[in-house]
Structure formats: structure tokens, C-alpha cells
Structure 1
Amino acid sequence: MILVPSRIAVVTGGNKGIGLEVCHQLAANGITVVLTARDEKRGSEAVEKLQKAGLSEIIFYQLDVTDAPNISRLADFMKARFGKLDILVNNAAVIGVEYIHDPVDVSVTSDKEHFSGMDASQRLEWMCKNSRETYNAAKEALQTNYYGTKNVIKTLLPLLQASPDGRIVNVSSMWGLLRLFNNEELKQELNDVENLTEERLDEVLAGFLKHFEVGAVESQGWPVAFSAYKVAMAAMNAYSRILARRHPELRVNCAHPGFVKTDITRNSGLLSPAEGAGYVTKVALLPAGGPTGVYFTLGAEATFL
């Protein structure tokens, strides 16, 4: 007879940055963690690194959140191995832009002094100036950050429901807040979770892509600068609230980890991955019966607006 550990977690995008640190922190709290990543080599190396640090209850599973059959295979593995899932941390995401590599500029991935003296707004301005927003990158952001995450949730939902205390933490961002929308009607609609549907969210995202393609993002009131990332995160926040209402037996929350030094930010952030992950882990480990359908920023409850 196989003994099932008391608590099981799945973390997407777990091979580096915030995801890797979330895996570390959950495992340090006695939770068996399934670390997933697109790249099998990098994922296996990440697990080996954690195991060498004394965290033995870490398992690797290769997962591309945009690959539906791949997600189904993960669900089959989890069902056969554990029969349930207690914590799902959806961390896998892309930034939705193409970064410009300036050969004259220093390498921001290796030069820690590059952002010295810059405050958060200056660092964000640097990110904007050194990126370009393309249709393909925007489409990838929606497919990964919203649809990929949603498909992972839907496929693993029966396993979460098999847990006595199933919970979902969607790693979000202050860039997903509705205050960034200049279309008041759309802002109100995305905040009206009692009437908002998944089908309507699909229509909203399709409308965004059409406006993006014809260069009408700003004129139609969508968020500007990293617009696809912001729209995808706003949609994921809205879906999280829909899900929380639909499944009161689960805890479904969003967690903003802060402005973190990761590949997505080209290491321009102010917090370390461990610091950012701490805020995500705190939400994942909230006491039983805690809040659901809530947005947390830096570990504290906040507004989706």
C-alpha cells in the first residue's frame, strides 16, 4: 500500500525565479511538491538543486501549460500517484513583449550595478524602452497567462476537490488591476463577478487582440505598455473570482509577489525571488476556512481595482 503524503502541491513554472522559491518554501513546510516546467533538463536540474539542499519531497513533471494533452497526462499522474491535490500554484507566465537586445548596453542579467540608483518607476520605464509589443507576443501572453492557467485549473479541479482543503493560488500582478483600464464600461463589467461569465471573458480577450492588431489599444481604453500582460492578468483575476463563487469548497486567491528580480523583469525588480515567493507561499498556506476570491498584494488583502 502506497502512503500518500499529508499535503501535495503542484507549482507551474517551477524551475527558476519565483516558482523555484515557492517550491523551496512549500517543501520546507513539509509539503510534497511536484515542480513542473516546460524544459525537462532545467526542471530536473532545479529538483536536483532542491534535493541537495535537503528537500527530498520534490518531484519533477514536465509541463507546458499551453499543451492540453500534456496537462491531462499530469492529471493522470497525480491521480495515480496521490489521488488528490491540496495546493495548486499557477506561476507559469510570459511577459507578452519582445525585449530588445542592445549590443551597446550592458548585460542586465549579469551586471547588478545596472539599475543602481533607479527607483521602481525608472526601472519600469527602462523595461518599456527596451521592449517592443508585437501581435505574436501579445497572443502568446493570453494563451499562456490566461488560457494555459485556466486549462491547468480545469483539468486538475477534480483532484483539488478530492482534497479536504483544496486551494488555488494564481500568481498575479499589480499590472492586472482594473484601474489600468481607461474604458469605464469594460472596467465595471470585469469587476461585476456576479454576472461575468467565462464566455464573456473570451469575447473580451478576442476584442483586445483585434484592437491590438489594428493599433487601437489606447483609443479603445485598454491598458497601455505591456498591454497584453496587463489584460491577461486582469482576465485571470476575474476568472479567479468566478471560480471562487462557483466552488466555495475551495480557496481560490490571487497573489501579487511584488516587483521581483526575474527573467520576466530582466532582473530589474526590487525584491529577490525568495522575497516575492514568500508572499505567494503565505497565501498558499493560509489557515483552513480562510478567504477566497481575494487579491493579495505583498501578502495583504487588497482590491482588484
Structure 2
Amino acid sequence: MEGAISSRPNTRVAVVTGGNKGIGFEVCRQLAVDGGVTVVLTARDEARGAEAAERLRALGVTDAVFHQLDITDASSIATLVYFLDTRFGKLDILVNNAGVGGVEYPQELEANDGQFAGLDSKQRLEWMVKNVREPIDAARKAVETNYYGTKHVTQALLPLLQSSKEGRIVTVSSEYGLLRLISNEEARRDLNDIDNLTEERLDELLGKFLNDFEEGDALETHGWPTGFSAYKVAMAATNAYSRILARRHPMLRVNCAHPGYVKTDMSMGSGVLTPEEGAQRVVMVALLPDGGPTGKYFTKGEEASFV
């Protein structure tokens, strides 16, 4: 699959993590079709990623190629970096989409559109929280994947992004990552103090959260959110890391984009938006004009507060 395309001169190149389905797949398609971008669709599973690239080609997308990527595997990340460097010599857009929910979904439960008829977004989210389990292993995986995996991929690709005229990093975020959901005043303050926040402090906060999570009832006692708690805390940390990057690398455009409550596997199909609609909000941020905003959070296509 890797030999299927070569980028034309001056064509922008994008990498989309978790691009084999849902929002990620649609981001790949829209970047290629609407933005004229050469897209490297990545996925952890070789077969599913290759099948997704075939689906893109069936839709008329010729400038797309699949490359395997597990964002929690250092050797997998290194292999992708080597491929991009030798094939393109640069990277213009990185869309950090890969992530997990930090919960276990009951296999016996199958959601369907009919059961959500008449329910608003809040009621659908309440249904989600009620029907999932949150074991410590799933919480650790959410932190490892959503924060550390995203961070490690981004760090590895920074030299290639800096080889671009104006590299873009867009992290698919969520309203679940907003700081208002964290009542721990110290954590909320530090996560929002971007002028002084360090990666070491993020490590400390995430470690403290996981320790409190393991103790069970310590979450609320220490001011951490409940209901998809690991997803919320990992997203808040990832948002903060994006802001650190924007401050550290002012020549790059580094932003977070909330696609909305989308019907995906992660939402068990309970969302109110289609993957196409959610992806539009992400692609819009990825294709903002040169010299556009950086270090910002976008929701519904507009700048909003991280708090």
C-alpha cells in the first residue's frame, strides 16, 4: 500500500491517526477532496487500514495511502516517521484523531437509533454513562493512548512539521476535556496556567489522578470528574499539551477541535451528528489560512474557551 502514491510538488501532506473509520476516515476523505491534500491514513490494524484506503479509492480519492501506526508503540511511530521522511521529506498537517473512551462497553448491549428518539444530547450522554463500566485498566489505557500516545506521535513528527512552510497540528478534542468539569482547584488552575505549565507537571497530575482512580471513591473526594472520568482528564491534559506546543513553537499552528457529539463506535452510536458533520469541523481547523490562530480550542467551527 505504501507505494501507491507520491506527492506532487507543493502539494500538502497530512497524517491522520485513527483514520480507518468514523471521524478519522471522513477527515481523510475531506482533506483529500476539499483541500487537495495528499493523505496518509493511519490505523493500528493493518487489514482495517488497508480496507479503509481501498474505500477511499472507491470514492474517487487517489491521493491517499495507508500506513500502519499504533500511537502507543514507539517502533511503530519510528517506522511512520521514516516513511514520511523518505517519501515526502516534510509533513504539513497532523490530525491527532486516534483515541479510546477509557471505559468498557457491554458486548450484550446494542444501541440503535430508535431508542434515542426524542432524547437530547444530555440525555443520550447520561445513557452512555449509565451503560458503560470504568475499570482501572481502561482508565490507564485512556491516559496512555489519548495523552501519551498523542504526545509521542506529535513529538516524533515535529521535525517534519517544521520542514513545512506552516505546519499544522489539530487534535480532535471534546467538551469532555473542558476544565470546568474538574473541581480540583489546584489541577484546574495548573492546567490553565499555560505560561508556567510543564510536561513534568502534567505527568504529576495524571499520576495523581490514576492513583485516586485506583482508590475508587477518592475521585470525587479529590475533585476529579466522574462518568468517563479518565477520558475527561486525559482530554484536559491533551488540550493543555497542545497549548504548551503552541507557545513553544510559534511558527506552527497548533489547535484543538471538538467535532461535536458524533455517531461513532466510541459513542455507541448515540451521537446526534454524522461522522461527515463532525469531520467538517476538524477539517475546517486543519485548513485555516496561513497565519491563522494557534493555541486555540474550536467547537461548532468557532473559537471557544478551554475552561
TM-score by length of 2: 0.96
Aligned to 2:11: 6
Question: How is 1:171-182 mapped onto 2 (pairs within 5 angstroms)?
Answer: 171-182=172-183
Please give the alpha-carbon distance, in whole angstroms, between the structure 1 residues aligned to 2:7 and 2:164: 17
Could you list the runs of 5+ residues in structure 1 that have no partner in the other structure? Answer: none
1:90 matched to 2:96? The reply is yes
Deviations 1:213-257 (A, max 9, x none): 011111100111100000000000000000000000100000000
Aligned to 2:190: 189
Could you list the runs of 5+ residues in structure 2 that have no partner in the other structure? Answer: 1-5
Aligned to 2:54: 48
Please give the alpha-carbon distance, in whole angstroms, between the structure 2 residues aligned to 1:273 and 1:180: 25
1:25 matched to 2:27? The reply is no
C-alpha contact (below 8 Å) 2:7/2:38 kept by paired residues: no
Deviation at 1:114, TM superposition (A): 2.1
SS across alignment from 2:40 = strand
1:76 matched to 2:82? The reply is yes
C-alpha contact (below 8 Å) 1:84/1:163 kept by paired residues: yes
Aligned to 2:225: 223
Question: How is 1:148-159 mapped onto 2 (pairs within 5 angstroms)?
Answer: 148-159=149-160
CA RMSD of aligned residues (A): 1.2
Deviations 1:117-168 (A, max 9, x none): 1111111111111111110000000000000000000000000000001010
Deviation at 1:299, TM superposition (A): 1.0
SS across alignment from 1:132 = coil
1:61 matched to 2:67? The reply is yes
**Distance 1:40-1:2 versus aligned 2 partners, 3 A rule:** closer
Deviation at 1:100, TM superposition (A): 2.2
Identity rate of aligned residues, in percent? 64
**Counterpart AA for 1:16:** K
C-alpha contact (below 8 Å) 2:113/2:270 kept by paired residues: no
Question: How is 1:1-305 mapped onto 2 (pairs within 5 angstroms)?
Answer: 3-4=8-9, 6-28=11-33, 29-102=35-108, 107-108=110-111, 111-215=112-216, 216-305=218-307
**Counterpart AA for 1:201:** L
Deviation at 1:303, TM superposition (A): 0.2
C-alpha contact (below 8 Å) 1:71/1:152 kept by paired residues: yes
Please give the alpha-carbon distance, in whole angstroms, between the structure 2 residues aligned to 1:61 and 1:260: 25
C-alpha contact (below 8 Å) 1:4/1:82 kept by paired residues: no
SS across alignment from 2:255 = strand
Please give the alpha-carbon distance, in whole angstroms, between the structure 1 residues aligned to 2:61 and 2:211: 47
C-alpha contact (below 8 Å) 1:5/1:32 kept by paired residues: no
SS across alignment from 1:89 = strand
TM-score by length of 1: 0.96
Please give the alpha-carbon distance, in whole angstroms, between the structure 2 residues aligned to 1:290 and 1:195: 24
- Equivalent residue pairs, number: 300
**Distance 1:282-1:2 versus aligned 2 partners, 3 A rule:** closer
Please give the alpha-carbon distance, in whole angstroms, between the structure 2 residues aligned to 1:128 and 1:203: 27
**Distance 1:221-1:36 versus aligned 2 partners, 3 A rule:** same
Deviation at 1:3, TM superposition (A): 4.8
C-alpha contact (below 8 Å) 1:101/1:130 kept by paired residues: no
**Counterpart AA for 2:121:** A
Please give the alpha-carbon distance, in whole angstroms, between the structure 1 residues aligned to 2:294 and 2:302: 13
Deviation at 1:112, TM superposition (A): 2.4
SS across alignment from 2:52 = helix
SS across alignment from 1:295 = strand
SS across alignment from 1:255 = strand
C-alpha contact (below 8 Å) 1:171/1:257 kept by paired residues: yes
**Distance 1:132-1:221 versus aligned 2 partners, 3 A rule:** same
Please give the alpha-carbon distance, in whole angstroms, between the structure 2 residues aligned to 1:101 and 1:82: 42
Please give the alpha-carbon distance, in whole angstroms, between the structure 2 residues aligned to 1:113 and 1:191: 40
